[in-house]
Structure 1
Amino acid sequence: DRTALPQDVLKNNINCIKSNLEQVFENHKKYIWSEDASKLKPIKIVNNETWYREIDSIRFVSEIGRNFRMGTMLLKQTVQNRINS
């Protein structure tokens, strides 16, 4: 099992990912885009928390959880170990 990241590490990771994505789009605009850069729409980077903040557990399981297959998950060694302990 993976341990949860401390909040300061998590926030730093989020900021670094955001910065990297912004740099990729800036480089695209600067080096690849051949037309007038003002025609490009600004990017909008959204944190996953924004999408899932308001969703309750029942809705999460019924709408998102349906995409996870129990058979596949049960074959994983970490799940097997937890079941057997």
Structure 2
Amino acid sequence: MSRVDALLEKLDECESATAFLQISNKIINLKLKTLLPNIFVQDDLVKEYAVEPLLKKDGPLETTDVISKLMFAMGKISLQTYADIG
């Protein structure tokens, strides 16, 4: 079972709106992190020394807010999608 599938199952078990929103945010973050590497230069050296450090657990692109701002600024998501995420 994928991490997203596991989170989707947890959504069904949520007992509060806060818990639901926290899990939803995790799912959005995982999906954005899946899409993000595809918008950078597709070069192995660039991926290893620039993209991977940006996306690592304690990297600057850890939060959904920062990732969605970057994707919106690069024209990869619409204003409506950006507003829905935020």
TM-score, reference length from structure 2 = 0.33
Give the TM-score, by structure 1 length. Answer: 0.33
Instruction: Answer 1 or 2: which has greater helix percent.
Output: 2
* Bigger relative contact order, structure 1 or 2 (CA pairs below 8 A, ≥6 apart): 1
